[in-house]
Amino acid sequence: MDRRGGKISLKGVYYERLPSGTVRWVYRDKRGKKQLKGIFGEPPLAITPAVMDAYNAAKEALGGKELRGSATLGWLIEKYLREKHFASKLTLADQRSVLGRIQTSHGHRPFATMKTKHVEALRDEVGGHPGNKRVKYLKQMFGWATKQGIAKTNPTVEAEKIKIASEGYTAWTREDVLAFEERHPIGTKARLAFALFLYTGQRVSDVAQWGPLNLRAGRLVYVQHKGRTQQIKRRSIPVTPPLQAILDSSPLGTTMWLETDYGKPFSIKGLGNKMRQWCDEAGLKELSAHGIRKATGNLAAERGCSAHQIMQILGVTLAIAESYTRAADEIRLADAGFARTFGDES
């Protein structure tokens, strides 16, 4: 029997690989060893309610003190993911991925004694954007748990995210646009998708839901996907002549304009991935659909649109819209300053 001595995540729990190749889990302390009944599988060991029940049973059989499953962080994560209503399957999947990693490594710890320093330690364990996402999802989980009366205190209230300097998604240039259009001519699904992004400036989550029913008197009418669970935001944007020309020359899906090769509407993630593939085919490996949206905001600002106009074009907050106009103003001021300083004095 191959005994692996590496401790996993529950104190005293190890795994053993049997001659058959099966991996079983055991609890060991100075009083002896006990198998975790019914717990098998390759490491790492996820701290689920079933694992906690088997763990407590093994400890109790050896005379140890039981750690109630409902007192552990792993139990809370499992309950939250099972009972909380999420806005979408994508949101649930992302939270399950992020919190699941915490559950695997730290699920045995009691959540009632967690403090701000513990939350920030979980953040720093992975660092950067992944660490900030941990803080975000732990805040949501403990906020839910306190409202449900499951947790008495919320250790995430004062936990801070790491400040990261970033320009975000890379905005497309005119050269990038031409490269994509050359690789994907009018009449292809890729060009249709690109036109919907370029001539509307909207998010993947919105473009994926557009179809014949959204076209009314030359306008796209829809409910903005982002934030829809907090506030219904109905939008009506014009179909510009360049976009209408592409629509008239493209094969359109019957339910949604953009559909897979199997005739099914793209999911949000599926459309984003497909756009990523089309960008790669055009040699634009660093670009994405969101960068097209950013380019639309830049173009609007460069052509003198006000912050409030950009706010309505992109469907963003005034603060975000002002970041576009501020950047454009800085360029115009710099150009004017250089022209006055070094221009022809004659």
pTM greater than 0.85 (yes/no): no
185 and 113 in one domain? no
Q: How high is the pLDDT of residue 114?
A: 93
CATH number of residue 197's parent domain: 1.10.443.10
Residue 38 lies in a domain: yes
Residue 160 lies in a domain: no
At residue 28, the 3 state secondary structure works out as: strand
Residue 328 lies in a domain: yes
Q: How high is the pLDDT of residue 166?
A: 57
Residue 210 lies in a domain: yes
Amino acid found at 157: V
208 and 93 in one domain? no
Averages of pLDDT over runs of 10 residues in the chain (346 residues) are: 48 86 87 86 80 82 61 88 85 91 87 93 91 95 93 92 73 90 95 94 92 93 84 89 94 92 91 94 90 87 89 86 84 85 72
Q: How high is the pLDDT of residue 168?
A: 67
Q: How high is the pLDDT of residue 58?
A: 85
178 and 131 in one domain? no
- The DSSP bridge pattern shows strands 32-40 and 2-4 to be unpaired
Residue 283 lies in a domain: yes
200 and 140 in one domain? no
141 and 193 in one domain? no
300 and 179 in one domain? yes
125 and 58 in one domain? no
DSSP calls for 290-340: HHHHHHHHHHHHHTT--HHHHHHHHT--HHHHHHHHHHHHHHHHHHHHHHH
Q: How high is the pLDDT of residue 63?
A: 73
Give per-residue burial for 115-148: e unless 16+ CB within 10 Å, then b: eeebbbebbeeeeeeebbbbbbbbbbbbebbeee
- The DSSP bridge pattern shows strands 215-216 and 32-40 to be unpaired
Cis check: omega of the bond before 212, within 30 degrees of 0? no
Q: How high is the pLDDT of residue 2?
A: 42
Q: How high is the pLDDT of residue 290?
A: 87
Q: Which domain holds residue 83?
A: 73-147
119 and 23 in one domain? no
179 and 293 in one domain? yes
305 and 224 in one domain? yes
Number of structural domains the chain divides into: 3
